[in-house]
Amino acid sequence: MRVPGARCYVAGRMPELPEVEIARRNLARWLHGHRVVKSEADNTRVFRGAKRARFSELTGRVESLDRKGKYLLLTFEGERGLLAHLGMTGKFVRRPEGQVEPHSRARFHLDDGSVIHFKDSRLFGRMEPAPAARLPQLKAIRELGRDPVVEGLTAEQLREALGRSKQGLKVALMDQGRVAGLGNIYAAEALFLAGLHPARKPASLKPEEWERLTQAIHEVLQAAMAQEQGEEQVYLEEEQGSENPFRIYGRAGTPCPKCGAKVQSFTQGGRTTHFCSKCQPLRSKARKR
Ligand SMILES: [Zn+2]
């Protein structure tokens, strides 16, 4: 389905920090000044291991709507809360009451006659109702590293989080326990911008390289969030012929946007990594940005 004004993405893209932040802002806008009059959830595996019956208790005013990494934390009046993760294909959409939404798995009915659906075709998303006070203590949240946007991230903090990892730099960046929110796309984009090879060992990075990488992380996340601001819906479904908005991700075989060399790819930690061997040499060398 194509919606006018909606942005299209390259195939197989999963939501990362910027997309989850946009989802958070959409929810905040839709819920502002309104009450949830009824909540309902179908029996699907997005509730695996969680008390689905509790979902119907999520009514009234939404008191806070936070994000950490790729997780959303909603608290409702009456000390009730919800942890939500979009997984691969999850998204929140707002529709008029009565409209059927394909792949809708859970719904918030609002007092303005609209319905917020959590739709998820592939069911890798996750919902976990929990008392509001317990949300930050849930295992999924406790185990997360710093969120670069919510909590900030300095070069020193990044070095501390990644420095002892024996993994390649990109795999370490995608480890949610080290830094929360980066996935295959924004890790690749940040490394390209910083001119660092994805397989570099974190211990080999020099202070100025940590600085560059930290700056690049902030830059790619901020740019992605700015681009998507104000859009009603963010569509992440695979679409034929959609334009690739990224500098390096998904560009294997095409010219590098910086130097024109052919973009390379290899498998790293089970995922495809895209990089430019000229702009991102495996050996550290002095370079100017
Ligand atoms: Zn290049």
| SS3 of 151-171 | CCCCHHHHHHHHCCCCCCHHH
Catalytic residue, chosen from 38, 45, 51, 271, is 271
Residues 170 and 135 in one domain: no
- If one compares 11 and 85, the residue with the highest pLDDT of the two is 85
Q: What does the pLDDT read at residue 283?
A: 83
The reported pLDDT for the residue numbered 10 is: 46
Read off the CATH number of the domain in which 108 is found: 3.20.190.10
For residues 81 and 119, state if they share a domain. yes
Domain end, chosen from 79, 113, 142, is at 142
Distance of CA 243 to the CA centre of its chain: 19
One domain for residues 197 and 84: no
> Of 7 and 222, which is predicted with more confidence?
222
* Mean pLDDT, residues 73-97 taken together: 97
Q: Taking the alpha carbons of 132, 136, 139, 140 in that order, is the dihedral positive or negative?
A: positive
Flag whether 168 is in a domain: yes
Residue 272 alpha carbon to ligand 1 centre in Å: 18
Over 90: is that where the pLDDT of 69 sits? yes
Whether residue 150 lies inside any domain: the answer is no
* pLDDT, tens digit (0-9, with 9 covering 90-100), for 179-206: 999 999 999 999 999 999 999 999 999 9
**pTM exceeding the 0.85 threshold for the entire prediction:** yes
Asked whether residue 148 is domain-assigned, the answer is no
Residue 50 in any domain: the answer is yes
- Residue where a domain stops, chosen among 109, 142, 175: 142
pLDDT digits (tens, 9 = 90+) for 130-186: 999 999 999 999 999 999 999 999 999 999 999 889 999 999 999 999 999 999 999
Domain boundary residue, one of 142, 177, 194: 142
The residue ranges of DSSP E strands in the chain, in sequence order, are 7-9, 35-41, 60-68, 71-76, 80-85, 90-96, 104-110, 114-120, 126-131, 234-238, 264-268, 271-275
- pLDDT at 83 (0 to 100): 98
User: Residue 7 pairs with which residues in a beta bridge?
Assistant: 234
The catalytic residue among 13, 15, 21, 209 is 15
Q: How far is the CA of 282 from the centre of ligand 1 (A)?
A: 13
> Is the residue at 3 inside a domain?
no
| Ligand 1 center–CA 119 separation, angstroms | 39
- Residue range of the domain that includes 173: 155-232+241-275
pLDDT computed for residue 243 by the predictor? 81
Q: 271 an active-site residue?
A: yes
Within this chain, do residues 134 and 175 fall inside the same structural domain, yes or no? no
Q: Is 16 a catalytic residue?
A: yes
178: region left, alpha or beta (phi > 0 left; psi from -120 to 50 alpha): alpha
Pairing of strands 234-238, 7-9: parallel
Place of tokens 């060992």: 201
Query: What's the CATH code of the domain at 206?
Result: 1.10.8.50
Give the total number of structural domains in the chain: 2
d(CA 191, CA 182): 12
| Interval 234-244: pLDDT, tens | 444 444 456 88
Beta strands in 69-159 (DSSP E): 71-76, 80-85, 90-96, 104-110, 114-120, 126-131
Q: Are residues 92 and 198 in the same domain?
A: no
**CA–CA separation, 167 vs 171, rounded Å?**
6
**198 C-alpha to ligand 1 centroid (Å):** 14
Same domain membership, residue 133 and residue 20:
yes
> What's the CA-to-centroid distance between 206 and ligand 1, angstroms?
21
**Ligand 1 centroid to 248 CA: how many Å?**
9
Identify the residue with better confidence: 234 or 121.
121
- 131 and 249 co-located in one domain: no
pLDDT tens, position by position, 134-147: 999 999 999 999 99
113: left (phi over 0), alpha (psi -120 to 50) or beta: left
- Return the pLDDT at 2: 37
122 and 18 together in one domain: yes
Note whether 39 and 57 are within 8 A (CB). Answer: yes
Give yes or no: residues 15 and 87 share one domain: yes
Query: What is the full DSSP assignment across 9-23?
Result: E-TT----HHHHHHH
Cα 277 to ligand 1 centre (Å): 7
Residues 6+ apart with CB under 8 A from 161: 145, 146, 178, 179
Three-state secondary-structure class, residue 97: coil
Mean pLDDT of 267-276: 95
Single out the catalytic residue among 24, 54, 68, 70: 70
How far, in Å, are 62, 104, 206 from residue 98 at the CA level? 23, 13, 58
CB 170 within 8 A of CB 188: yes
Q: Which is higher by pLDDT, 258 or 11? A: 258
| Residue 227's pLDDT band (cuts 50, 70, 90) | confident
- pLDDT tens profile 10-33: 445 789 999 999 999 999 999 999
Average pLDDT over every residue of 54-65: 98
Q: Assess whether 189 carries a catalytic annotation.
A: no
